[in-house]
Amino acid sequence: MKETVIDAHNLSKIYDEKTIPVYALNKVHLHISRGEFTAIKGPSGSGKTTLLNMIGGLDIPSEGFVEINGTNITELKGNELIDFRLNNIGFVFQSYNLIPVLTAKENIEFIMLLQKRSKQETEQRVLELLKEIGLEDKINKRPRELSGGQQQRVAVARALAPKPQFILADEPTANLDSVSAENLLDMMLKLNQEENMTFVFSTHDQRVINRARRVITLEDGKIVADTAPTSIIHKQIAKI
Amino acid sequence: MILKLIWRNLWRNSRRTLITMASIAFAVLFAVLMKSFQDGVFNNLIKNVVGYYSGYVQIHQKGYWDEQILDNSFELKKELNNQLQQNHQITAIVPRLETFVLASKGNTTKGCLLVGTDAVRENKLTQLKSKLIKGSYFENNEATVLIAEGLAKRLEVSVSDTIVLFGQGFHGVMAAGKYKIKGIIHLASPEMNAAFVYLPLTATQSFLSAENRLTSVSIGIDDPENTDAIAQNIKAIIGQQYEVMPWQELIPDVANHIKADGFSFYIFSGILYLIIGFGLFGTVLMMTAERKYEFGMLIAIGMKKSKLQLILFGETVLITFFGVLLGILMSLPLVLYLQEKPIRFGGELAKAYEQFGFEALFPTNVDPNIFITQSLIVLGMAVLIGVYPLWHIHGLDPVNAMKK
């Protein structure tokens, strides 16, 4: 049996509870196992980002709780929660992901320094990651000197640097051209397959949905479908 | 890494950083200039007023200042004189015997202030010789007078004329004497110019039948800043039968004027700092607002709020530190130059000043305390302003911060 990394129980987020309650999320149950490559899709306002924020410990649910590797993160507060995020969750945001005044190498180093890792370990890991994302020749470039796709690759490397349990990516390809988006997806899939890294995306992008092993569809704050995408099913049928 | 971030963040909008630094630097420059001009002018004013007659500190018999009569005079004992001479901060000790008498020539009689003094020591403290406009300076072993120009006019006398002085001597004895005018002096203060007569001390004591007696000892000191300390020191040494008064008590009008002007400086510099404070606050406000998304992202990926607060506080303090440093570097040569070559007014303005016994001179005062104080005020202001981003970060919710 696969190890569960993310376990969301009866998760709800209600706005304007006292007047007319609006459910951003409505009693969502979600289990994600190690090594999954999951896309969460749905129309705007369906609750994708809210779900991701709750899994990432950035937002507090109105009801229910989230367990990451057995730790109920809904009970963590302040610095304890920040430390948990630092050591267990990697984040990739849509844009403006990197610290503009630091180079690609420093952006990746930065998160490991927050973890108080040794200089030697940090140096080794950063170079390893830069090689892995194919940007070893751009180590001293600042974000403004990198393309959007290259910036997102550095963001993925930064998310991977602290060796998290999983990576949450909020529409990572939204601002990328198709070549950059494909390259980024190739890189993430490679990391998923070779390092068994768990990825959870929120996305509108069909290219991401097509590559996902599992697709969760949200509508009005509820999970309405939880399947593999058609392309994957077709491939599997073809194999059989 | 934190220092690297602070430094690089400072220069991510270099134009804004430079403008903010420049505004702080100019605030420090203006404040330092204002304060050093004020102190310089006041020191000069004090030197002028105090050096003109009173001295920085005076010693009297206890009760003399309230009742200025010869019966409240005292004998300058050798040991007191020695004690004063041993104090290295004291540059001049002028024994005086002063009283009001009548001066007469022919049918004209006028009231005047007779100042019996040591000719040499008086000149050291008040440069009396330099005020001579006619005749020559008197000597200690003579019985000749120097008469103020205004009084000479009123009595219609000139050099080599003889005047009669009469009045009341020590213990109520009758005092009368004839004295030849050796010189005419011009005193800047109109009141003094209309009433002063100087006579050597020995001759005055003999005239007033007050052998060895004095009404005051005027003291000159090396540094006016030490007036109070020296007065206290003398008070502690010489005993209870004397009163020791610093110039602030002798000339309260001038002391009050300086105090009032000092207050206006605080108002002006307060306004100046308020303007600069709002400028700096504006920069900090913009630095905080435009990086809201970034702060949200940093907290989301695992940066503790306290570290982020440290970075922002460091940025505010560093920007101010460089501004202050620049301000000091700009003001120091200017203040030094203006101390060496003070602004000197000419024409009517100079005449008006000189009429009241002041030089029309505006020197600056190079006192490290001025630089330190002004710098600390600006840095203190920065620390206060630096609290805003700390408060902002404290309440920052990463989800809201990253909403576009």
Q: Which candidate in A77, A99, A140 is best for mutational testing of the B interface (most B CBs within 10 A)?
A: A99
Residue B145 has pLDDT above 90, yes or no: yes
For residue B256, the surrounding DSSP H or E stretch is helix B252-289
Arithmetic mean of pLDDT, B323-346: 90
pLDDT, tens only, A117-163: 888 989 898 988 888 888 888 889 999 999 888 898 899 889 888 88
Residue in chain A closest to B9 (alpha carbons) equals A101
Q: Among B293, B294, B304, whose Cβ lies nearest the Cβ of A79?
A: B304
Percent of chain A with pLDDT over 70: 93
* Whole-number Cα distances in Å, A9 to A16, A141, A219, B56: 22, 43, 18, 86
State whether A82 and B305 contact (CB < 8 Å). yes
Q: Among B293, B301, B399, whose Cβ lies nearest the Cβ of A91?
A: B301
Of B250, B240, B238, B244, the closest CA to residue B81 belongs to: B238
Return the pLDDT at A232. 60
Arithmetic mean of pLDDT, B37-60: 84
- pLDDT band for position A233 (cuts 50, 70, 90): low
Two structure tokens written together for B50: 């105090």
Residue A235 has pLDDT above 70, yes or no: no
Return the pLDDT at B138. 94
B12 contact residues in A (CB cutoff 8 A) = 100-101
Give the E-state strand segments of B36-89 in sequence order: 57-61, 74-75
State whether A53 and B304 contact (CB < 8 Å). no
Cα B193 versus chain centre, distance? 25
Percent of chain B with pLDDT over 90: 40
Q: Among A86, A93, A100, whose Cβ lies nearest the Cβ of B302?
A: A86
- pLDDT band for position A228 (cuts 50, 70, 90): low
Q: Number of A to B CB contacts under 8 A, please give it.
A: 60
- What does the mean pLDDT of chain A come to? 87
State whether A87 and B298 contact (CB < 8 Å). no
User: Do residues B208 and B170 make contact, with C-beta atoms less than 8 angstroms apart?
Assistant: yes
pLDDT, tens only, A10-22: 999 888 767 788 8
State whether A93 and B402 contact (CB < 8 Å). yes
- pLDDT band for position A64 (cuts 50, 70, 90): very high
**Domain A37-53+79-239, CATH class in plain words:** alpha beta
d(CA B8, CA A240): 58
Residue in chain B closest to A87 (alpha carbons) equals B302
User: Do residues B32 and B331 make contact, with C-beta atoms less than 8 angstroms apart?
Assistant: yes
β partners of residue B54: none
Arithmetic mean of pLDDT, B348-369: 77
Residue B255 has pLDDT above 70, yes or no: yes
Question: Which residues have a Cβ under 8 Å from the Cβ of A78 and sit 6 or more positions away?
Answer: none
Per-residue three-class SS string for A163-220: CCCEEEEECCCCCCCHHHHHHHHHHHHHHHHHHCCEEEEEECCHHHHHHCCEEEEEEC
Return the pLDDT at B333. 93
Counting Cα atoms < 13 Å in the Cβ hemisphere of A177 gives: 5
Q: Please report, as a single letter, which amino acid is at residue B107.
A: N
Question: Which residues have a Cβ under 8 Å from the Cβ of A9 and sit 6 or more positions away?
Answer: A29, A64, A65, A66, A67
CA distance A13 to chain B (A): 14
Arithmetic mean of pLDDT, B58-74: 91
Q: Which residue has the higher pLDDT, A240 or A148?
A: A148
Return the pLDDT at B28. 87
> What are the residues of chain B with a beta carbon less than 8 Å away from any beta carbon of chain A?
1, 4-5, 8-9, 12, 293-294, 297-307, 398-399, 402
Domain segments of chain A as ranges: 37-53+79-239
CA distance B24 to chain A (A): 25
d(CA B246, CA B255): 10
User: Do residues A208 and A201 make contact, with C-beta atoms less than 8 angstroms apart?
Assistant: yes
Q: Which residue has the higher pLDDT, B320 or A2?
A: B320
Two structure tokens written together for B136: 């020559």
Residue A105 has pLDDT above 70, yes or no: yes
Return the pLDDT at A1. 58
Residue B208 has pLDDT above 70, yes or no: yes
Return the pLDDT at B135. 94
- Residue A142 burial (10 A CB sphere; 0-12, 13-18, 19+): middle
A109 contact residues in B (CB cutoff 8 A) = 1
pLDDT, tens only, B99-143: 999 999 988 999 999 999 999 999 998 889 999 999 999 999 999
Weakest mean pLDDT among B133-142, B275-284, B365-374: B275-284
Return the pLDDT at B49. 76
Q: Which candidate in A25, A44, A82, A105 is best for mutational testing of the B interface (most B CBs within 10 A)?
A: A82
Instruction: Tell me the whole-structure pTM to 2 decimals.
Output: 0.72
Q: Which ipTM value was assigned to this complex?
A: 0.86
- pLDDT band for position B357 (cuts 50, 70, 90): low
Q: Among the residues of A48-96, which ranges form H helices?
A: 48-55, 78-88
Weakest mean pLDDT among B28-42, B155-169, B205-219: B28-42
Residue in chain A closest to B13 (alpha carbons) equals A101
- pLDDT band for position A78 (cuts 50, 70, 90): confident
- What does the mean pLDDT of chain B come to? 88
Phi and psi based region of residue B133 (left: phi greater than 0; alpha: psi -120 to 50; beta: remaining) = alpha
pLDDT winner (highest mean) among A128-137, B40-49, B333-342: B333-342
Return the pLDDT at A236. 64
**Domain B69-214, CATH class in plain words:** mainly beta
Residue B404 has pLDDT above 70, yes or no: no
Return the pLDDT at A55. 93
> CATH 2.40.70 region(s) of chain B?
69-214
A101 contact residues in B (CB cutoff 8 A) = 5, 8-9, 12
Q: Which candidate in B6, B301, B304, B397 is best for mutational testing of the A interface (most A CBs within 10 A)?
A: B301
Return the pLDDT at B104. 94
pLDDT, tens only, A5-51: 899 999 998 887 677 888 889 899 999 999 999 999 999 888 898 99
Return the pLDDT at B34. 87
Pairing of strands B144-148, B174-185: parallel
* Whole-number Cα distances in Å, A90 to A81, A108, A113, A197: 14, 12, 15, 10
B300 contact residues in A (CB cutoff 8 A) = 56, 58, 85, 91, 93
Residue B353 has pLDDT above 80, yes or no: no
Arithmetic mean of pLDDT, A82-94: 91
Return the pLDDT at B235. 86
- pLDDT band for position B161 (cuts 50, 70, 90): very high
CA distance B302 to chain A (A): 4
- pLDDT band for position B187 (cuts 50, 70, 90): confident
